[in-house]
Structures are given as C-alpha cells and as structure tokens.
Amino acid sequence: MGKIHNLQGKRFGKWLVLEEIPSDMYQDTRWKVRCDCGKETTITGRSLIYFKSTHCGCERTKKLTKHPMQQGIPGGKNFKDETGKVYGKLTVIRPTRQNAKKEWYWECKCSCGETTEVRGSHLRSGTIVSCGCVLKEFRQNQNKTHGLTYTPEYVRARNRKRERKEAILDKNWTGVMEHQLRTLFQQCVLCGMTEKEHQEKFGQSLHVDHVHPLKDGNGLNYGSATILCQPCNAKKSAKTLDQLDEKDRNRIMVTADLFDLLYNKNRTIEV
C-alpha cells in the first residue's frame, strides 16, 4: 500500500473531503466526501487523487435534463424542429415517433379542426398540406362550375366537350341520313313548327336531336334521331325518354321508329 495522504478538507472536483474512514491496512484508504449538491458517500483516496471521480453523478443527470429528449423535443444531428410551424392548412404541434429510417413524424392540427400525423419531409416538400380535407373538397366540387355556368368561357368549354363526344358517338351519322330525316320530318315532331317558321324566328334550321341522351353514350343513327325546334330541344335537354311527358315520349318514339323503318335497309321486320 502506498503512502497515505491526508485529504481531509481538500476539494476534488465537486467533492469536499470530510473525514477518513477506518479501513483494513491492506485496503485502499477510504474517505467520507460530500458533493456540492449535498449528497454524501465514501470513496477511495486513489479515485480522488487521480480524479477518477469528481462528482456524485449529478452533472450527468443535469446534462440529461438539458437534453432535448428530456424536454419532449427529439434531438440528433439531422433533427429539424418543426414545432409551431405552418405548412398549408397544417400547424405542427409536436413530434410523435420515428420510423425505421430515423425520419420523424409530427402531430399536426388542420385549420378544419382535425388532427393528423405527417412525416417531416412531406411537410417541408409540400406533399401534404392538410388532413385530407383539401382533396375531399376538390373531389366534391370538381363537377361544379361555382357560378360560371352562363359565362362565355364556360359555354365554350361545354360546347367543346360536346363536340368531342359527338365526333366519337355520331361517327356513323352521315349527310345522307340527315337528308333522309329532314325529308321525312319537315317540322318539329312535338310542336309542329315548320322549317320556314324556325328560320324566320331563330335564323337556323330545325335541330337534329338524339332520342337517347348523348351524355349517356348514345349517338345518332336510324331509330335514335328525331327533329325538334329550338324550344322543344331545350325543353327535352338531356332527359331520358322515361323522364318526358307521356305525350312527348310517344311522339318521339313513334317518329324515330318510322325513320328507322323507312330508311334502315338492315332492319328486319318481324311478321
């Protein structure tokens, strides 16, 4: 055993040596010490002299309490604190968890009142800007015109859409078929307005109309075309035959069948 030093009253780090503790001659001398935090314990003189111990562990505890994880905020070299930031309709509240790739997820509150969990990279890139309410609202309103129904822009867009459908669905309709239909019916099949009266009043010919709505995928052909004036065509609009008055429905069906019977060479008549 080495020489025994009198350490009483001396300081080693945060230790203050109080007194020597009697021990066996073959053991290291032990001393009663008090840490600046107030905790008392015994420690060997060797540990004090060579500064192997300088405090009771309170410094380590203090560092841990200052660590971001102890304050409810994750730490780390690549950690980016998003708390309180706003992305689109989302306000970041707190971090929640990490995935296998060490990416943080955040609890966010949407302006609609709902809460959701979003990955930090998705917030920063703008991939997710709401709890899902924006997409839901878009899907609900995608077929609405928001008050633009009667504007020139909307009318042009609607007409272009109809023209594209007609080009596809009316591909079997020919000029010969239209001439045959206008020869057979020289007035509106519903109200009886003549071609001359229609020209004088509206400045255009009577309309060749679909018996079954174009919007449902029906094109012009024998048995599916009729002649209507502008008011009757507007009245019929995109209604199906079942949605029309019985009188109008019967007239349209009879005239369409008559056109089919007289001009469709491929029609077979059952006896």
For residues 173 and 219, is the Cβ–Cβ distance under 8 A? yes
Give the pLDDT confidence score for residue 198 in this predicted structure: 92
**3-state SS string over the chain?**
CCCCCCCCCCEECCEEEEEEECCCCCCCCEEEEEECCCCEEEEEHHHHHCCCCCCCCHHHHHHHHHCHHHHCCCCCCCCCCCCCCEECCEEEEEEEEECCCCCEEEEEEECCCCEEEEEHHHHHHCCCCCCCHHHHHHHHHCCCCCCCCCCHHHHHHHHHHHHHHHHHHCCCCCHHHHHHHHHHCCECCCCCCEHHHHHHHHCCCCEEEECCCHHHCCCCCCCCEEEECHHHHHHHCCCCHHHCCHHHHHHHHHHHHHHHHHHCCCCCCCC
Residue numbers of the domain that contains 131: 71-137
Same domain, 227 and 182: yes
What is the percent of the chain with per-residue pLDDT over 90, rounded to a whole number? 35
Two structure tokens written together for 16:
């203050």
Give the pLDDT confidence score for residue 143 in this predicted structure: 62
For residues 223 and 215, is the Cβ–Cβ distance under 8 A? no
Is 143 inside any structural domain? no
Nearest CA to 170 out of 222, 248, 94 is that of: 222
Kindly list the distances between the CA atom of residue 52 and the CA atoms of 55, 56, 143, 222, in Å, as whole numbers in the listed order: 10, 11, 76, 104
For residues 184 and 231, is the Cβ–Cβ distance under 8 A? no
Give the pLDDT confidence score for residue 142 in this predicted structure: 63
Is 161 inside any structural domain? no
Is 188 inside any structural domain? yes
Kindly list the distances between the CA atom of residue 68 and the CA atoms of 60, 100, 105, in Å, as whole numbers in the listed order: 14, 20, 16
The residues facing 94 across adjacent strands are 107
Give the pLDDT confidence score for residue 70 in this predicted structure: 43
Is 130 inside any structural domain? yes
Give the pLDDT confidence score for residue 116 in this predicted structure: 93
Give the pLDDT confidence score for residue 149 in this predicted structure: 64
Q: What is the pTM of this model?
A: 0.45
Give the pLDDT confidence score for residue 69 in this predicted structure: 45
Distance, CA of 109 to CA of 123 (rounded, Å): 12
Condensed to tens digits (0 to 9), the pLDDT of residues 34-87 reads: 998 888 888 888 888 877 888 887 776 665 444 444 444 565 556 788 889 999
Is 82 inside any structural domain? yes
Two structure tokens written together for 107:
């609890």
Same domain, 44 and 75: no
Same domain, 182 and 245: yes
For residues 105 and 118, is the Cβ–Cβ distance under 8 A? yes
Same domain, 75 and 36: no
Give the pLDDT confidence score for residue 268 in this predicted structure: 57
Two structure tokens written together for 49:
């002299």
Ranges under pLDDT 50 in the chain: 1, 64-72, 269-271
Is 156 inside any structural domain? no
Domain boundary among 61, 84, 101: 61
As a whole number, the mean pLDDT across the chain is: 83
Is 175 inside any structural domain? yes
Please give the tally of structural domains in the chain: 3
Give CA 106 to chain center in angstroms: 18
Domain boundary among 92, 114, 137: 137
Is 2 inside any structural domain? no
Domain boundary among 84, 116, 137: 137
Same domain, 175 and 233: yes
Give the pLDDT confidence score for residue 250 in this predicted structure: 93
Give the pLDDT confidence score for residue 191 in this predicted structure: 92
Give the pLDDT confidence score for residue 71 in this predicted structure: 46
Strand order in the sheet with 115-119: 86-87, 90-98, 104-110, 115-119
